[in-house]
A and B are shown apart, each in its own frame.
Chain A
Amino acid sequence: MRPICRSILVQIVVPANTARSAQLAFPDVKELREKGTKVYGVESVAQAQLSIGTGLLDVVSAADADNIVFTLVERSTQRIQQVPFLSFNIVTTAGIYREVSAFQPDLQRSTILFTALPAATTFVVPFLFHYAYPIDPIYDSL
């Protein structure tokens, strides 16, 4: 597990009355879109770690978190394909985040998917992305 150079919280807003099997795209994040940016670690954030997101919306409940899988895309390649949301939560991994081979995600083509009907209210699904820029010392080793 590499030391963290930069991290950013990314939140997907799930509208009220979202249907089962709905796929929702990640928001555009300019920090991760900058040329040469490499993501090398991902965490999912559960309600026990953060109860309310930055937009004052509730964080996904524990029950709904069980029914989310997510996919991260780089260009036309699915780098992480339909992986359970909570499998990337560090509460269950003794604080160790999931390190991945460095890649630059295309967040607008990356999605979360609900495998069961989520709550009828509006809430957010948060992730932490660990990344580096070409100016960062760790970059060349990624």
Chain B
Amino acid sequence: MRRGVHIQARGIQTARNVEVFTLLFGGPNVAANTPIAFSSRTARGMWRVIGLSTRQPLAPAVNLNPSVLFTLRDANGRDFLTDCPLGSLPSVDPTLGTPGFPKAFDWLPVSWENSFYYSPNPATAQNPFTFFLTVYYGDGN
């Protein structure tokens, strides 16, 4: 227990880099459940993910229920997070996501090239919108 708390506190306090992914999701030809890879530009070598949050409402403001899921994997293709709802991440708007601090993760060596996001909602997939994923990095040591 002591170790877990220690890691979380250290992670939040010593994040050396915070990156906001701005992702355009969906389009007329994107079917529901079509996985979309994260951009390779998001790769940060051995830097570890120690927190995630999001920003809602989605932009442009669209009257769509949340229906974005994401899967984060390591370099070997093994899942860290499997089908996680974007809505399960803390948001600046607690009426649309969850309140609170960034969700803390245990220094995950995420391979963004192997990770993806998608929507199971056909209506969402046919109406492009932007969502935000804020990634808090540790330095990997």
Contacts and interface: CB of A to CB of B under 8 A. Distances in A.
B120 to A, nearest CB: 5
A8 B88 CA distance: 12
B94 A91 contact: yes
B7 A50 contact: no
Interface stretch (A51-59, A63-71, A74-82, A107-115): A51-59
A123 B90 CA distance: 25
Interface in B85-113: 85, 87-88, 90, 94, 96-101, 103-108
Name the prevailing secondary structure of the A interface residues: loop
Interface in A112-142: 126, 128, 136-138, 141
Interface residues of A, number: 34
Given A9-B83, A52-B121, A54-B69, A141 B106 contact: no
Given A3-B104, A51-B65, A53-B120, A9 B90 contact: no
Contacts of B98: 49, 90-91, 95
B43 interface: no
B33 interface: yes
A136 B106 contact: yes
A141 B85 contact: no
B100 A51 contact: no
Interface size class of B (residues with CB under 8 A): 35 or more
Interface in A1-44: 1-9, 31, 43
Contacts of A94: 99-100
A47 interface: yes
A53 B121 CA distance: 8
B66 A49 contact: yes
Nearest to B32: A56
A3 B105 contact: yes
A45 B88 contact: yes
Contacts of B88: 43, 45, 49-50, 90, 128
Given A8-B82, A52-B121, A1 B96 contact: no
Contacts of A54: 33, 69, 83, 120
6 contacts: A9-B84, A49-B97, A52-B121, A91-B99, A141-B1, A141-B2
Given A2-B7, A7-B82, A9-B82, 5 more contacts: A54-B69, A56-B32, A91-B99, A126-B85, A141-B1
A-B CB proximity, top 4 nearest: A95-B100, A49-B87, A51-B65, A2-B4
